[in-house]
Amino acid sequence: MLSIREYSEAECAVFHRVRDTFGPFSNMASGYGFQIGDVAVLSSEHHYQAMRFPHRPDIQEQILAVKSPIKAKRKAYEFISQTREDWHRVNIPIMRHCIQLRHAFNAVRLQPLYDQSADMPIVEKSLRDDFWGAKPIGSGRLRGVNALGRLHMGHRLELRNDPDFCVLTVAPPEIPDYRLLDRKIEVVDVPRINSAKGWQTSLDL
């Protein structure tokens, strides 16, 4: 179980609003889509919420069809009672997979943010959620599990340790019933083209 931690906001790479410097780390940031097989996924939040319902491709289709991350979350909550029973055992590896996919397909824009964060803790500042984020407790300090920020820090470390991590392929998490639109999610190939600006995806999502 992830423990609660306390952070000094001034010493962290903090994201709260998507327009913040580190705002693209947020699941609510638009424009960081990816492709799973022939399915276009508009954001990591779309994928995360769709994975609540591997047994209901009709619900997944509705979630994937909405245009923004916050609307994807709202659509999923319309069906929240039908969330897979083991959700709280699998949601962390699912979110890790989301982070890997969004980086793999958007490395040109996201890698500089990981570099800019250096060795600082990455923290989602939230006024309501002290599991995925950390709440302000006064005197410039934040307290919470900060699960999303810690997943980003783990991803940053993977990128440093292995230059080929999430470059050409992204493996799915080893969890049961990991399906999108009634198809098992396999290893995702990341199509890329080389450009003068560095590696970038060949998709325009």
Q: If you average pLDDT over residues 157-179, what whole number do you get?
A: 95
98-115: pLDDT as tens digits: 999 999 999 999 999 999
Strands (E) across 149-201 are located at 169-170, 179-180, 183-184, 188-189, 192-195, 198-201
| Angle at 174 (CA atoms; ends 53, 103), nearest 5 degrees | 80
- What is the Cα–Cα distance from 37 to 119, expressed in whole angstroms? 34
Residue 97 vs residues 19, 75, 79, 195: alpha-carbon distances, Å: 23, 21, 23, 26
Tell me, what's the pLDDT at 163? 84
Domain count for the chain: 1
Q: Is the pLDDT of residue 202 over 60?
A: no
* Structure-token pair, residue 173: 């998490």
Q: Is the pLDDT of residue 169 over 50?
A: yes
Domain residues for 122?
A: 5-201
Tell me, what's the pLDDT at 130? 96
Tell me, what's the pLDDT at 2? 84
DSSP state of 134: B
Q: How many CB atoms lie within 10 A of CB 132?
A: 19
Identity at 96, one-letter amino acid code: R
User: Are 142 and 135 a contacting pair, CB within 8 Å?
Assistant: yes
| Termini Cα distance of the chain | 35
Averaged pLDDT score across all residues of the chain: 93
Q: If you average pLDDT over residues 13-17, what whole number do you get?
A: 97
Q: Do strands 141-144 and 122-124 pair parallel, antiparallel, or not at all (unpaired)?
A: unpaired
Q: Is the pLDDT of residue 85 over 60?
A: yes
Least confident of 21-35, 171-185, 187-201: 187-201
User: Are 178 and 184 a contacting pair, CB within 8 Å?
Assistant: yes
Q: Is the pLDDT of residue 184 over 90?
A: yes
User: Are 54 and 82 a contacting pair, CB within 8 Å?
Assistant: no
Q: Is the pLDDT of residue 199 over 60?
A: no
- What is the Cα–Cα distance from 149 to 63, expressed in whole angstroms? 24
Strands (E) across 11-161 are located at 13-15, 34-36, 39-41, 122-124, 135-138, 141-144
Tell me, what's the pLDDT at 143? 98
Bridge partners (DSSP) listed for residue 35: 40
40-82: pLDDT as tens digits: 999 999 999 999 999 999 999 999 999 999 999 999 999 999 9
DSSP state of 106: S
Tell me, what's the pLDDT at 191? 80
The CATH number of whichever domain residue 11 belongs to comes to: 1.10.357.40
* Structure-token pair, residue 165: 């991590």
